[in-house]
Structure 1
Amino acid sequence: MLEASFLGLSDRHAEEGTVSVWPAWEVREREGAWSWFHVRLAFDDGAQVDALAVLCGEQVSIEDVRAEPALSLDDLTALADWIEGPLFETCARADAACATGEGGEAAEFLASSRARPAWPRGVEGRRRVALEYRAAQEAGVDPVLAVMCATGHSRRRSLRLIAQARDAGFLTPRHARP
C-alpha cells in the first residue's frame, strides 16, 4: 500500500511514469462517430491512474478516472499533460494506418472524423443544429452528444446552440409553459 494520501502528479517527472493507450470501442451512427480509449499511467512505486477518454471530432474528453492513491484537484489538472502526447500519438498512428489502408474501422473513423468542415454561423447553423438534434432523437441516441460531435463544440456550447435553435423556432419548446 502506498503511503501518500494523493498521487502528486505535478511533483513527478516524465521518466518516472509510463503511459499506455489502447482502443476500447467505437460507436458509429449516421454521420457521427465516437471512439473510446483506455489510458493507463503507471509508476514504478505502484501508483497508477486509469482513465477512459472519448474522441469526438478533434475533441478528446475524459469520461472516467480511477487512481491509486487518489488524485487531488491539482493532480487531475496535471493528468491532461501526462496523457495528452501518448493519446494523440495513438490517434495519429490510427490516421496513418487509415491512409495506408491498414488499421480497420477504428483508423477509418479517426481519419474521417477529423475532416469536418467549419460549422456555419447564424440561421444556417441553427437550422443544421436542429436537423442533427432531430435526427439523433429519431435514431434513439443522445441528441446533445450528436450536436457536440457534429459541431465539434463542448457540451455547454452545444446546449447553447440547441437553445438558440429553439429560440429561432427550429425546435419545439423544451417545456410547455401555462
Structure 2
Amino acid sequence: MLEASFLNLSDRSATDGAVSVWPAWQVRDGGGATAWFGVRLEFGDGARVDALAVVAKGCVSIEDVRAEPALSLDDLAALADWIEVPLSQACGIGNATDGEDGGPGGVRPVWPRGVEGQWLIAQKYRAAQEAGLDPVLAVMSATGHSRRRSLRLIGQARDAGFLTPRRARR
C-alpha cells in the first residue's frame, strides 16, 4: 500500500513513469468523428493514473481521471505535461504546442508549396487513414493550418492525382 496521501507528479521525473495510450472507441457522424482514448500513467511504486480522453473537432479533452493515490489540483495540472505528447501522437495530431526549440508556442511548421507539398499532404492523409485516425486532423497537425485550409490542401492533392477522387465525376 502506498503511504503518500497525494501522487505528487511534479516531484517525479519522466524516467519514473510510463505512459500508455490506446483507442477505446470511435463514433462517426456526418462528416466527422469523435474518438475516445484510454490513457494510463504507471509508476514503479504502484501509483497509477487512468484517464479517458476524447478527440472531437480537432480538440483533445480529458473526460475522466482516476488515480491511486489521489491527485491534488497541482498534480492534475501536471498530468497534462505527462500525457500530452503520447496522447497527441496516438490521436494523430502531433505535438502542436512545442516549437523547434522545445519551448511553448504555436509555431506553424514550414510546409513546402506546390507538388512536393501536395505529395506530403497525401502521405500524411493515407498514413492517418491506415492507422484508423482522422486524416484531416493529421493534415491539420502536420501543416499547422485550420480545418478549412487543410481541406483545401487535401482537395489540391486529390486534383493533382496523389489521392483518389472523393466521388465519381459525371
Residue 65 (structure 1) aligns with:
65
- Compute the displacement of 1:33 (Å): 1.3
Q: TM-score normalised to the size of structure 1?
A: 0.58
- Say whether 1:7 aligns with 2:38: no
- Compute the displacement of 1:31 (Å): 2.0
Residue 99 (structure 1) aligns with:
126
CA distance in 2, matches of 1:80, 1:57: 19
Contact 2:92–2:137, Cα closer than 8 Å, also in 1? no
Please give the secondary structure, in 1, of the residue aligned with 2:19: strand
Paired AA for residue 112 in structure 1: V
Residue 29 (structure 2) aligns with:
29
Task: Show structure 1 runs of 4+ deviating over 2 A.
Answer: 91-98, 100-103, 112-115
Cα deviation 1:102-132 (Å, max 9, x = unaligned): 23xx32xx213455217xxxxxxxxxxxxxx
Q: Tell me: CA distance 1:89–1:113, structure 2 relative to 1, closer, same or farther (3 Å).
A: closer
CA distance in 1, matches of 2:82, 2:42: 11
- Compute the displacement of 1:92 (Å): 3.0
Identical-pair percentage: 60
Contact 1:36–1:53, Cα closer than 8 Å, also in 2? yes
CA distance in 2, matches of 1:14, 1:32: 35
Contact 1:41–1:49, Cα closer than 8 Å, also in 2? yes
Please give the secondary structure, in 2, of the residue aligned with 1:112: helix
Contact 2:6–2:72, Cα closer than 8 Å, also in 1? yes
- Compute the displacement of 1:91 (Å): 2.4
- Compute the displacement of 1:90 (Å): 1.4
Matches within 5 A, 1:161-172: none
- Compute the displacement of 1:5 (Å): 0.3
Please give the secondary structure, in 2, of the residue aligned with 1:3: coil
Contact 1:33–1:113, Cα closer than 8 Å, also in 2? no
Matches within 5 A, 1:86-165: 86-92=86-92, 99-100=126-127, 102-103=130-131, 106-107=132-133, 110-113=134-137, 115=140, 116-117=147-148
**What is the RMSD of the two structures over their aligned residues, measured on CA atoms?**
2.4
Please give the secondary structure, in 1, of the residue aligned with 2:54: strand
- Compute the displacement of 1:89 (Å): 1.5
Please give the secondary structure, in 2, of the residue aligned with 1:41: strand
Greater length-normalized contact order (CA 8 Å, ≥ 6 residues apart): 1
CA distance in 1, matches of 2:124, 2:7: 36
CA distance in 1, matches of 2:61, 2:91: 14
Residue ranges of structure 2 left out of the alignment (5+ in a row): 95-120, 141-146, 150-170
- Compute the displacement of 1:32 (Å): 2.9
CA distance in 2, matches of 1:9, 1:76: 8
Q: TM-score normalised to the size of structure 2?
A: 0.61
Residue ranges of structure 1 left out of the alignment (5+ in a row): 119-178
Contact 1:50–1:66, Cα closer than 8 Å, also in 2? yes
CA distance in 2, matches of 1:16, 1:87: 18
